[in-house]
């Protein structure tokens, strides 16, 4: 039994026998409530562990794309711990959607040597990069809202610039 459980158990033992807490039905209601809480927490725990695996998979599978669009560093601060437990499922869905966007562009970015052999090919590539950048960044920002660290004082998210640095596209 972990330390918090031992402390809570000893606090319950310290309640006097004639206290209202031990009256008919009170303790049983508490136990039912506790069992319900345990069930909810276990579901949330499974969602959090699944989200941890999803984050790792996205990083491993799409590291090159993330680096190309210069969002890998901001991505690395993501953690399932940062996500409120009631939003774990939505965060997992958003991450799965973003993963599909990254999969779509993973064969294109970063470009291969042959992709930009001519000026026309380079212009085509830059147009595709601009479009992809907007789509990838939009998905990133959605997932970032769930998984980025939050400021303790304000409850707000800490933000870092996570915009792709496509100087050639912007020019």
* CB contact at 8 A, 128 and 120: no
- pTM recorded for the entire structure: 0.72
Which of 114-153 are b and which e, b meaning 16 or more Cβ less than 10 Å from the residue's Cβ? eeeeeeeeeeebbebbeebbeebbebbbebbebbbeeeee
Tokens for 44?
A: 């949330």
Mean residue pLDDT across the chain: 85
Would you list the domain boundaries of the chain?
Answer: 3-170
Residue 153: pLDDT band (50, 70, 90) is low
Checking if the pLDDT of 159 tops 60, the result is: no
Q: Each residue of 56-112: pLDDT tens digit?
A: 999 999 999 999 999 988 888 999 999 999 999 999 999 999 999 999 999 888 888
| Cα atoms found within 13 Å of the Cα of residue 102, Cβ hemisphere only | 26
Write down the pLDDT at residue 169: 30
Tokens for 60?
A: 């491993």
Share of the chain above pLDDT 90, in %: 60
Which candidate, 105, 145, 103, places its Cα nearest to that of 125? Answer: 105
């Amino acid at each position: 039994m972990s330390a918090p459980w031992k402390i809570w158990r000893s606090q319950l033992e310290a309640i006097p026998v004639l206290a209202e807490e031990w009256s008919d039905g009170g303790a049983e209601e508490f136990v039912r409530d506790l069992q319900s809480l345990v069930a909810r927490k276990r579901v949330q725990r499974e969602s959090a562990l699944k989200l941890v695996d999803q984050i790792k998979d996205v990083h491993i599978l799409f590291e090159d794309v993330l680096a190309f669009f210069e969002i890998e560093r901001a991505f690395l601060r993501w953690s399932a711990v940062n996500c409120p437990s009631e939003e774990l499922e939505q965060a997992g869905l958003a991450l799965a959607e973003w993963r599909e966007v990254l999969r779509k562009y993973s064969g294109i970015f970063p470009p291969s040597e042959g992709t930009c052999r001519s000026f026309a090919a380079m212009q085509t590539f830059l147009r595709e990069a601009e479009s992809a950048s907007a789509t990838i960044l939009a998905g990133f920002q959605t997932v970032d809202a769930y998984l980025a660290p939050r400021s303790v004082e304000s409850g707000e998210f800490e933000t870092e610039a996570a915009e792709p640095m496509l100087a050639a596209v912007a020019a």
